[in-house]
Amino acid sequence: MVRRRRARRGSIFFVLALLPAVAGCPSADEFLASGDGSFLITGGRWLDVHTGELVENTGIGIRDGRIVSLGVPPDTVEYSREIKLQGDVTILPGLIDLHAHYAVDLFGEGRVDETAAYPELFLANGVTTTFPAGEMDPVRMRELRLAIESGERAGPRILNSGPYFGSWRRGWDGDAMTTDSIHREVDHWAELGAAGFKAKGIRPEHLSALIERAHEHGLTVTGHLDSGFGDSVNPQDAILMGLDRVEHFLGGDMMPADRTAYASLQEFDDFEGDALRDIIDLYVDNDVRFDATLSIYGYWGPHDPEMTEYWTDELRFLTPYMRAIVEARPRRPVSESFAKMSPIKRKTLKAFYDGGGRDLITLGTDHPSWGRYWSPFGVHREMLALARAGVPPADVFRIATLNGARAMGLGDDLGSIEQGKLADLVGVAGNPLDDVRAARTVQFVFTRGRFHSAFDLLAGAEGKIGPADASEESAWRPGR
């Protein structure tokens, strides 16, 4: 709740208390939507992701969307708005999800990108930057990015990924693709503002062409790869081609080419052997990022209350019509393969962390929802999964912020609370270094020079996902 208190030194002074929004209570946006874009935020503490320590907040000065000072400002410096945080508040850098699917599959007939509520939901969960990692409708996603950039919509920074490169794209014809055609596609989407590309189900020659052209544009490539089985590419070979980031599986001799990566991972148990050590060293030596996506296995495996609990009613963001359909469905059957892989994935991630990969791990949620567990809330489940794997809380937040920014070449502007960087700030109740789940209690988000109430963002997204009635179902049933 924001209450106007009094003016001081010509400024407008507010107190932001850790209380939920109530009827008739003015929102942060109503108070802070206009002015010259200068703020002074005091109170609470902020997380220095470089040192992993909490710093008493004596003042974060912001002007035109950038942090211009940290600490008590000189008397000669004035800000048009001063915001005093009260209560047990921790300020985090904006969270970054590098596998942030906007796609949902509500009827089990194919994915569609959800744009009615997801932008607000990502922001309400403290996620200020997203890389969709493959878009079902890249034109629609580009339009959403432009709407957010213009201020027409509230939402996170979208680093467009364009269409999938590989068999996962609808209509992809691998036999018809050539080096020249891939280069032309990369040129096209780079011109339209893509920030990077995603390969999934791609052949070696096509991946090589994609990496080559993307790098000519100064853009990165990530890949959901396999073992080398069939026409697939082992991450080890992709790294030698110059791939920037790898999703899900480390690869190498851990994943022999005589079977799929999924089959190998279910059987892997040699955590002290050369295969794991060698592939970790390859990542470290080549500065290649790893997006482990630990939490997705909890959605498909046996129900794990700690990982899949609702701390808020996520179903309220469905339309009433769609909610009735979702609630009438039986529970999804347990995937035995995912149940086997989940603990192995956690051990593998910890070995990667211990083996010198701390600064190479990025956070990715990778969850195209079927009507439960929305992707924007997944960032908090992924942070919990990292902590459960044995990553210290301070480094969980480093992974979720600074590592992601650096992986996308944005480390000079994003990922930490530092003078000169963009002011992407998230205020949460409590101390997330004691328990990473404290980061779920988002109170406010500051990004693009605007102060957003998390409560208002959540309220505005209610009842928007899915068809309003049977006549609208076709838009959510795209098929393959």
CB neighbourhood size of 420 (10 A): 9
Asked whether residue 326 falls in the same domain as residue 293, the answer is yes
458 vs 280: CA distance, rounded Å: 40
Residue 476 within any structural domain of the chain: no
Torsions phi, psi for 239 (to 5 deg): -60, -40
Asked whether residue 356 falls in the same domain as residue 247, the answer is yes
Asked whether residue 41 falls in the same domain as residue 103, the answer is no
Residue 362 within any structural domain of the chain: yes
Asked whether residue 324 falls in the same domain as residue 206, the answer is yes
Residue indicated by tokens 């609808």: 170
Asked whether residue 253 falls in the same domain as residue 290, the answer is yes
13 vs 341: CA distance, rounded Å: 52
Asked whether residue 113 falls in the same domain as residue 160, the answer is yes
pLDDT tens digit at each of 480 positions of the chain:
333 333 344 455 556 655 443 333 334 444 444 445 899 999 999 999 999 999 999 999 999 999 999 998 777 678 888 899 999 999 999 999 999 999 999 999 999 999 999 999 999 999 999 999 999 999 999 999 999 999 999 999 999 999 999 999 989 999 999 999 999 999 999 999 999 999 999 999 999 999 999 999 999 999 999 999 999 999 999 999 999 999 999 999 999 999 999 999 998 999 999 999 999 999 999 999 999 999 987 777 666 777 788 999 999 999 999 999 999 998 888 788 888 888 999 999 999 999 999 999 999 999 889 898 999 999 999 999 999 999 999 999 999 999 999 999 999 999 999 999 999 999 999 999 999 999 999 999 999 999 999 999 999 999 999 999 999 999 999 864
Residue 402 within any structural domain of the chain: yes
Asked whether residue 290 falls in the same domain as residue 430, the answer is no
CA geometry: angle at 308 spanning 305 and 314, to 5°?
125
36 vs 88: CA distance, rounded Å: 29
Q: How far is CA 101 from CA 115, 402, 466, 477, in A?
A: 11, 20, 16, 17
**Bridge partners for 442 per DSSP:** 428
Q: Supply the CATH number for residue 442's domain.
A: 2.30.40.10
Give the pLDDT confidence score for residue 35 in this predicted structure. 45
Domain count, the chain: 2
Asked whether residue 159 falls in the same domain as residue 271, the answer is yes
428 vs 454: CA distance, rounded Å: 10
SS3 for the chain, per residue? CEEEEEEECCEEEEEECCCCCCCCCCCHHHHHCCCCCEEEEECCEEEECCCCEEEECCCEEEECCEEEEECCCCCCCCCCEEEEECCCEEEEECEEECCCCCEECCCCCCCEECCCCHHHHHHHCCEEEECCCCCCCHHHHHHHHHHHHHCCCCCCEECCCCCCECCCCCCCCCCCCCHHHHHHHHHHHHHCCCCEEEEECCCHHHHHHHHHHHHHCCCEEEEECCCCCCCCCCHHHHHHHCCCEEECCCCHHHCCCCCCHHHHHHHCCCCCCHHHHHHHHHHHHHCCEEECCCCHHHHHCCCCHHHHCCCCCHHHHECHHHHHHHHHCCCCCCCHHHHHHHHHHHHHHHHHHHHHHHHHEECCCCCCECCCCCHHHHHHHHHHHHHHCCCCHHHHHHHHHHHHHHHCCCCCCCCCCCCCCECCEEEEECCCCCCHHHHHCEEEEEECCEEEEHHHHHHHHCCCECCCCHHHHHHHCCCC
Give the pLDDT confidence score for residue 8 in this predicted structure. 41
Residue 473 within any structural domain of the chain: no
Asked whether residue 114 falls in the same domain as residue 30, the answer is no
List CB contacts of 366: < 8 A, sequence separation 6 or more. Answer: 99, 101, 133, 247, 248, 291, 293, 296
Asked whether residue 218 falls in the same domain as residue 254, the answer is yes
Residue 368 within any structural domain of the chain: yes
List CB contacts of 309: < 8 A, sequence separation 6 or more. Answer: none
Residue 16 within any structural domain of the chain: yes
Residue 75 within any structural domain of the chain: yes
Is residue 127 within 8 Å of residue 155, measured between CB atoms? no
Residue 477 within any structural domain of the chain: no
CA geometry: angle at 14 spanning 452 and 47, to 5°?
60
CB neighbourhood size of 32 (10 A): 23
Q: Tell whether the torsion through CA atoms of 404, 376, 108 and 461 is positive or negative.
A: negative
Asked whether residue 363 falls in the same domain as residue 239, the answer is yes
Torsions phi, psi for 137 (to 5 deg): -130, 85
Which residue range is the domain that position 387 belongs to?
A: 95-407
Q: Supply the CATH number for residue 296's domain.
A: 3.20.20.140
165 vs 163: CA distance, rounded Å: 6
Give the pLDDT confidence score for residue 3 in this predicted structure. 31
Domain finish residue from 385, 407, 429: 407
75 vs 204: CA distance, rounded Å: 61
Asked whether residue 428 falls in the same domain as residue 388, the answer is no
